[in-house]
Amino acid sequence: MKINQAFDALQKSGGIRAARVITENTKNLSWFNVWRMSRALRRGTPVAKIIGQKWFYGLRFYTNKYTLDPRPDTETLVSAVISDCDTDHNAPRILDLGTGTGCIIGALVKNIHNATGVGIDKSRGAVRVARHNMRTLGLSNRVQIRRLSFNYAHNFNEKFDIIVSNPPYIARNDTRVDSGAMHDPDIALYADNNGLAAYEIIAKNAKKWLKKRGNIYLEIGAGQGPDVRNIFLCAGWSFLRSECDLSGTERVLIFTLNK
């Protein structure tokens, strides 16, 4: 199929932007493949899931059905860490809880001088994706990806300067979830206790993994700030500050153990 024919077919199914992204990033534009992708667009499948990639913080990450697609909101977390590391850390060790595609740990280690780290995820499929992305980014010697769950107090045989996490934080009965999220794994999206269960676990376990004076950076859902702050304060953490995303929504909370 000629590229203009593919573009027209994809545009009718998913709009101009989707057609442009797919045709620019897909080598196989056969009739069958274009038909398959057009059908996926009509079903609401995100473009990232169709082409198997998503740009995040200027880097390209492979993504599939086992991982949450990297989202622009999460770049707020990455920017907060990088900003602090400009002055506060020398060659920091970073732990990423629920790493998914590895986009957070990958972007951080790429942008922080001499940074290294560990990303953990309990999903076998996500671990394979994250390891693939670390190889593609040339970070296999600086980032380890391990199949572990932050639900348990593992012994890492070390403590970290920085902990980051974009945990599942959507309440199971939340009707505001967009249709694209239907194609992401539930394990990466939904949490019990009105979306707060993962924060309760992290507030308890992460104290064992963070150095004194270390910081933890957490992405949160819209309106969850007061509840998450309360969870961490009650667990003995000290609140440092919050960061808002580009829409002005409070998106990242930062806590420390140094007090």
Domain contains 145: yes
Residue matched to tokens 């992401």: 184
DSSP per-residue string spanning 205-221: HGGGTEEEEEEEEEE--
**What per-residue confidence (pLDDT) applies to 174?**
77
Q: Report CA-CA distances (Å) from 210 to 159, 249, 253, 258.
A: 5, 27, 16, 10
**What per-residue confidence (pLDDT) applies to 258?**
62
Q: What is the pLDDT of residues 99-148, one digit of tens each?
A: 999 999 999 999 999 999 999 999 999 999 999 999 999 999 999 999 99
Tokens of 153: 């107090």
Beta-carbon contacts of residue 206 (< 8 Å; ≥ 6 apart): 97, 150, 163, 216
Tokens of 232: 């961490």
Has residue 90 got a pLDDT over 80? no
Q: Are residues 19 and 95 in the same domain?
A: no
Q: Are residues 176 and 89 in the same domain?
A: yes
Q: Which domain holds residue 192?
A: 72-256
CATH of the domain at 225: 3.40.50.150
- Strand duo 238-244 + 250-256: pairing: antiparallel
Domain contains 63: no
Domain contains 173: yes
**What per-residue confidence (pLDDT) applies to 259?**
58
Q: Are residues 106 and 230 in the same domain?
A: yes
Tokens of 92: 């920091």
For residue 160, what pLDDT band results from cuts at 50, 70 and 90?
Answer: very high
Beta-carbon contacts of residue 2 (< 8 Å; ≥ 6 apart): none
**What per-residue confidence (pLDDT) applies to 115?**
96
Q: Are residues 237 and 161 in the same domain?
A: yes
Q: Are residues 10 and 91 in the same domain?
A: no
**What per-residue confidence (pLDDT) applies to 185?**
87
DSSP per-residue string spanning 140-165: TTTEEEEE--TTS----SS-EEEEEE
**What per-residue confidence (pLDDT) applies to 157?**
86
Q: Which residue has the higher pLDDT, 174 or 51?
A: 51
Taking Cα atoms as reference points, which of 156, 145, 139, 126 lies closest to residue 62? 126
Domain contains 109: yes
Mean pLDDT over the full length of the chain: 92
Q: What is the pLDDT of residues 184-237, one digit of tens each?
A: 888 898 888 999 999 999 999 999 999 998 999 999 999 999 999 999 999 999
Domain contains 62: no
Q: Are residues 143 and 26 in the same domain?
A: no
Has residue 63 got a pLDDT over 70? yes
Q: Are residues 137 and 234 in the same domain?
A: yes
Q: Are residues 23 and 97 in the same domain?
A: no
Classify residue 26 by burial, with Cβ atoms within 10 Å: 0-12, 13-18, 19+.
middle
From CA 217, how far away is CA 58, in angstroms rounded? Answer: 20
**What per-residue confidence (pLDDT) applies to 70?**
93
Q: Are residues 102 and 214 in the same domain?
A: yes
- Number of domains comprising the chain: 2
Has residue 179 got a pLDDT over 70? no
